[in-house]
Amino acid sequence: MDQLFNRKYIIQGLFVLLALILLGKLFYIQIATDKYFVNANSNALRKIYVYPARGVILDRNNKVLAQNQPTYDLLVTPKLVKPFDTLSLCQIIGVDMPTFREKLRKATVRSRYQASIFQKLLSVQTYAALQEKMANYQGFDVQKRTIRYYPDSIASQFLGYMREVTQTDLEKYEGYYKSGDYIGKAGIEKEYEVDLRGTKGVTHMLYNARNVAQGRYADGKLDSMAISGDQLTSTIDSRIQKLGEELLANKVGSVVAIEPNTGEILAFVSSPGYDPNKLVGSNFSNNYRDIFANPNRAFVVRPIQGGYSPGSAFKPLDALIALSEGVVDPNTTFNCPGYYIAGNRRFKCEHVDGNTALRWGISRSCNTYFYNIFAKMMTKNGFSNTKQQAAYEAWQNKVRKFGIGDTLGIDFPGEKAYKLYRAKDYSKIYGKYWGNTTIMSVAIGQGEISTTPLQMANIMAIIANKGYYIKPHVVKAIGSGRKIDPKYKEKHYVGIDAKYFDPVIDGMQDAVNTATGTATESRLRDIIMCGKTGTVQNSRGKNHSVFIGFAPRDNPKIAIAVIIENGGYGGSYAAPIASFITEKYLTDSLSGRLINGATLQKYKDANLLPVPKTIKPIKPTSKTDSLKADSIKKAAPKGKTNVAVNNFNKEAIKPKNNATAKQ
């Protein structure tokens, strides 16, 4: 009996315990938390996301490059839609009835119970008209957001643009974004997306059966405020950025300027460009298509994606390596009769320089001098193919320390490295038997070597600093007090003693500041600018004009690279354009050129855009006169028509060992 009695009380105790648990759970659900109430009343209680203001982007002098302006999205929750005057809503938001039905169908397919964007980017005026009648449109709601506005309409490729998220973006950012949200898709907007976007806020709003807001649930205790994105201070100087874009109007090319002692990018010009405000708002798609259709590829970010042979602009680097290896000294001379003989081949020089030493060779851009020093470097350990190939491998490793052949690691998306051949690459082409005479074109920056404008400007920063560079970067500060990545403070040494730089800089000074130099059009008043011109072969037309330099000579403040496609000699367009930008940065003023008195307007007005290809004639429907056709064939020269191939943006460059670079 006692055992039965004890079992009775055990069972009763279990029932009592279960009842207490149920009562406790009921108390928690009804009193302690409103989670279940919120879920149960999802038809009346809605989460309204509050989009934060995106971080403003400034130039280095705190001038606004990118800011925000308000816009609105019309949302729909299909399950909540009741019959209403659809024509009235269509008239307000500017759509026809077939479009309205299709949008509602798509929203229903996405989700009947979740709100989605029905019509995006409504203007302030449209929003005001909509608000007056919002109570009539059950199932519809409005959310506020901001879109970009670019006050000066400059630096389009630098700033980038915003676009709706894709499925890839949704997966990458693990739930932060939802369909219809916008995200940085290019430029700084993409690179610093997480810093710029801020944090969304959430408002829990109660609505009655008539779709009229009744106020915030629980007096806003569950709400969270939106947190604005971080302000971004870029390294760009908008004064010279704007000037660079004006000077490159109606031209294809690039300008990159760097502050040598910090690695900060001062100008980042890519031409042709576009108005960044065209890729904002409801006309994005149409404008994007128009810009994309530009035959000169306006979306290519040439400072980091344009691939160009450096041409004679490579010569100062070659001279530094030759000096450091001891194969020449500043007084070593070579005779220049106007050409250089390598084996059974003859390489042209643009002029007869006679006995030429380093300083004169750089200032006059003597090809023969640089062919000679390259040959000495390749044969310093012997003339056998094996020893020359080993010497080349050592040489190209030294070149790579200057940032050629690999990316520099700029804080900007899409940087390309391009090609600098290793010895094994040549062996794949020529087998075991190749030496300096086979690859002589690389001595003057042609052939199997290509660089970006950023890499060229960085070489000038190295020479200005006499042996080191800091990784180029485009952001100076993030938010208030947040520092940039420490890697953009580190010095990267190229392994050449500072004593070897002065003789090279002497030649670069003479190139600009003496009557016999190749860059006299870049001479400045009261400022000693040092530079080097280059003329890069272009198989599609006129050669590309190149200039690299820095100023002033003592305590340099700016290093610059300018490339003007189809500009001809380096001294014709690239050098004077570089000097105007340098003068503006250093003095905040502009003057005519000292040598020819050319004005700024002359270079702004010059149109160097390549002539578009003519449309092929339509094939006649009638039969061709066979006799005439035969006579045409006989008169035509033998061989294939020379089809031009542009060097631009080629990952691998075929050997062009008979190439010649002009000054």
DSSP state of 657: T
DSSP H helical segments within 466-592, as ranges?
501-513, 574-587
Determine the average pLDDT of the residues in 1-30.
Answer: 69
Neighbours of 94 (CB within 10 A): 12
- At residue 305, does pLDDT exceed 70? yes
Q: What is the pLDDT of residues 605-653, one digit of tens each?
A: 999 998 776 545 444 443 333 333 333 333 333 333 333 333 333 333 3
What is the pLDDT of the chain when averaged over all its residues?
86
DSSP state of 519: T
Q: What is the pTM of this model?
A: 0.82
Determine the average pLDDT of the residues in 533-555.
Answer: 90
How confident is residue 80, by pLDDT bands cut at 50, 70 and 90?
Answer: confident
Q: How many whole angstroms separate alpha carbon 94 and alpha carbon 90?
A: 6
State the DSSP string of 220-256. GTT-B--BPPPPEEES--HHHHHHHHHHTTTS-EEEE
What are residue 47's DSSP bridge partners?
Answer: 204
Pick the most confident of 10-14, 177-181, 207-211, 519-523: 519-523
Q: What is the pLDDT of residues 548-571, one digit of tens each?
A: 999 999 999 999 999 999 999 898
According to the model, what pLDDT value does residue 28 have? Answer: 66
Q: Which element (helix H / strand E) includes 169?
A: helix 167-172
Pick the most confident of 27-36, 231-240, 593-602, 635-644: 231-240
Domains and CATH numbers, the chain: 45-234 (3.90.1310.10), 240-605 (3.40.710.10)
Coil/strand/helix, residue 607: coil
Determine the average pLDDT of the residues in 592-614.
Answer: 81
How confident is residue 209, by pLDDT bands cut at 50, 70 and 90?
Answer: low
What lies within 8 Å, CB to CB, of 517 at 6+ separation is: 363, 364, 510, 511
Q: How many whole angstroms separate alpha carbon 93 and alpha carbon 114?
A: 21
Q: How many whole angstroms separate alpha carbon 45 and alpha carbon 261?
A: 58
Which has the closest alpha carbon to 188: 56, 51, 277? Answer: 56
State the DSSP string of 425-488. HHHHHHTT---TTTSGGGGGT-SSB-B-HHHHHHHHHHHHHTSEEE--BSEEEETTTBPPPGGG
What lies within 8 Å, CB to CB, of 183 at 6+ separation is: 162, 163, 164, 165, 169, 177, 190, 193, 197
- At residue 260, does pLDDT exceed 50? yes
Q: Encoding tokens for residue 306?
A: 């344009």
Pick the most confident of 63-77, 449-463, 616-630: 449-463
Place of tokens 């026809």: 96
According to the model, what pLDDT value does residue 86 have? Answer: 87
Neighbours of 533 (CB within 10 A): 31
According to the model, what pLDDT value does residue 71 have? Answer: 87
Q: How many whole angstroms separate alpha carbon 6 and alpha carbon 114?
A: 55
Q: How far is CA 110 from CA 40, 79, 113, 172, 611, in A?
A: 22, 12, 9, 21, 49
State the DSSP string of 358-427. HHHHHHHT-HHHHHHHHHHHHTTT-SSHHHHHHHHHHHHHHHHTTT-SS----SSTT-----B--HHHHH
Taking the mean position of all CA atoms in its chain, how far away is CA 172?
Answer: 22
| Sign of the CA dihedral running 108, 110, 112, 115 | negative
